[in-house]
Structure 1
Amino acid sequence: MGMDRAGLGGEAMMLRAASRAPYLERGEELALAIRWKEKRDQQALDRIATAHMRLAISMAVKFRRYGLPMGDLIQEGHVGLLEAAARFDPDRDVRFSTYATWWIRASMQDYVLRNWSIVRGGTSSAQKSLFFNLRRMRARLSQSGEPVGALSAYKQISVALGVSEADVALMDMRLSVPDTSLNAPLNVENDSGERMDLLVSDAPLPDEQVCETIDIERRSSWLRDALSVLNEREMHIIAQRRLSENGATLEELGSLLGISKERVRQIETRALEKLKCALVKENSAFCVF
């Protein structure tokens, strides 16, 4: 409760400060911008930002429909306002309010996208446009006087915003349904479990995982025992050809061992046959080398 009061108090202070800040005439605004650009006069920067806090507050009101704290929206608008003031170029002959509007809106939009849902959305410019324009465009279609079905509306919106119909449908669903915790109880009265309990897992069952672990250990043991039947040169060739990430060529091994690549191939073939016999020893006939 104390934090809520503190937040409300901070918001009230910002509103009072903004209402008391004097408006700037165009000439005064230009002079302050020049002082900041040429002399990095912090007081000039602060005066420009403070005089335009009303702009940030009025834009924060428009974003309030997303259910986020008004004070936080104003703070984000203030961040955008300071960024605009720091980047403003007085030589472009544009009023600061016109330039700052883009930065304030961008800062608030980013805040909304980061905090509106625990699921991150609007990661591209098209998705961001869809998020902030979907409701307005649906309302416009419903007020057109002609009945518009959901599929038809999705199609028109997708064409207008340059996104797929599937993206429009998904965003519409996200805006219509609030976040729900997977740990929320299914039934508060009889404690019937959590939503998490209804999720289907694609992971193997515990007994399957145990069997897989045992099989891997058994195969590894068999391979280690089988490799012990190879002599040093056979083991070297198999290791370089079959067990390394970048297998060596027959020519490379032949050059290294001082033999022909055909001889390397013969030794490799013989080694593989020895490994095969060792691995199937219990179920095969006696092998002679």
Structure 2
Amino acid sequence: MVSMSRLPALGNIDAYISAVNRIPLLTHEEEQQLARDLRDRESVEAAGKLVMSHLRLVVSVARNYLGYGLPHADLIQEGNIGLMKAVKRFDPDRGVRLVSFALAWIKAEIHEYILKNWRMVKVATTKSQRKLFFNLRSMKGDAGTLDSAAVQRIADTLEVKPEEVREMETRFSGGDIALEGNPDDGEDAMAFAPIAYLEDSRTEPTRVLEMKERDAMSSSGIEAAMAKLDDRSRRIIQTRWLNVAEDGSEPMTLQELADEYGVSAERIRQIESAALKKMRGALTEFQAGR
């Protein structure tokens, strides 16, 4: 796999972001060829090109987590690890672009980093609490302190106790950071302040095309593919592959699902394998029809 030393240095975050945004995107045909070179010949050069061409995706994803008070450079570094894991596991015959496949791995790695390092994460120890941790901000919106009805609504939606919502809200309110860094804290505090990353790059042409492709495949494409599955297969894929991207949940094990359905773990693996094959075909049809 490509070494982290092959990636642009993170010493100057602005220079790094500028550098990765200049790296050309791969065409579908180039991506397919490189992925096959990696899979069939274990080509380190091919792996490096696949990683490098998707570094801007990691920067984009990492920017969404600046509100947790952790350095942007550290979030990017963790996201890059997730990207490399995705590249190593990417199968070009699945019928999806690497950008769609890598998104879940990048988010999962960043989620894990946040949970291990943010000062308030001691409460985020169960699946339901992890879901609360990563969804409370968006569900709360611009509202101030939540009233009892809002707390109960969020608790019911996320399947947690109302007091857990209250506790998490309190910790969030105490965890905000200043928009601008304090000059007295040194250059790093200024460099990593959120104000440094407010430039909107969403209208940059290559990013528009990249995000359009990613959004279509990760929403409509996945939805169409999931609709081809029976209820049991859909449940297995959801809990084994999709929940980690949506709310940071740990994937269910084959044995957990086997216990739920009263079959062997090997039978669950067979169902999962057949479901993934069926989804790959559905996603290929979806992409061809766009």
Normalising to structure 1: TM-score of the pair?
0.54
**CA shift digits 1:101-151 (9 cap, x unpaired):** 1111111111111111165342222211111111211117x49xxxx9521
Find the aligned partners of 1:156 and 1:165 in 2 and give their Cα distance: 9
| Cα distance change, pair 121–85 in 1 and its aligned pair in 2 (3 A) | farther
RMSD of aligned residue pairs (Cα, Å): 2.3
Partner of 1:166: 163
Report the counterpart of residue 83 of structure 2 in structure 1.
81
Alpha-carbon distance between aligned partners in 1 of 2:146 and 2:15, rounded to the nearest angstrom: 47
1:118/1:155 CA distance change after superposition, 3 Å: closer
More RCO (CA 8 Å, sep 6+) = 2
Residue 108 of structure 2 is matched in structure 1 by: 106
Provide the C-alpha distance between the structure 2 equivalents of 1:93 and 1:48, rounded to a whole number of angstroms: 16
Q: Which residue of 2 aligns with 1:177?
A: 174
**Are the aligned partners of 1:113 and 1:121 in contact in 2 as well (CA < 8 Å)?**
no
TM-aligned CA distance change 1:13 to 1:41, over 3 Å: farther
Q: Which amino acid aligns with 2:60?
A: S
Larger Rg: 1
SS in 1 for 2:81: helix
User: For the Cα contact (< 8 Å) 2:63–2:72, is it kept in 1?
Assistant: yes
Please list the CA deviations of residues 59-94 of structure 1 after superposition, one character each: whole Å capped at 9, or x if unmatched.
111111111111111111101110110111111111
Instruction: Report deviation, 1:16.
Output: 3.5
Following superposition, which runs of at least 4 residues in structure 1 exceed 3 angstroms of deviation?
none
How many residues align structurally?
168
State the identity as a percent.
38
**Structure 2: distance between partners of 1:108 and 1:167:** 23
Contact residue 35 and residue 90 of structure 2 kept, 8 A: yes
| 1:8 to 1:32, Cα distance in 2 relative to 1, 3 A | closer
1:53 matched residue in structure 2: 55
Which of residues 60, 64, 67 is equivalent to 2:66?
A: 64
Counterpart-to-counterpart distance in 1, 2:88 and 2:10: 28
Extract unaligned runs of 5+ from structure 1: 1-6, 180-289
User: Of 123, 135, 138, which aligns to 2:137?
Assistant: 135
1:158 maps to a residue whose letter is A
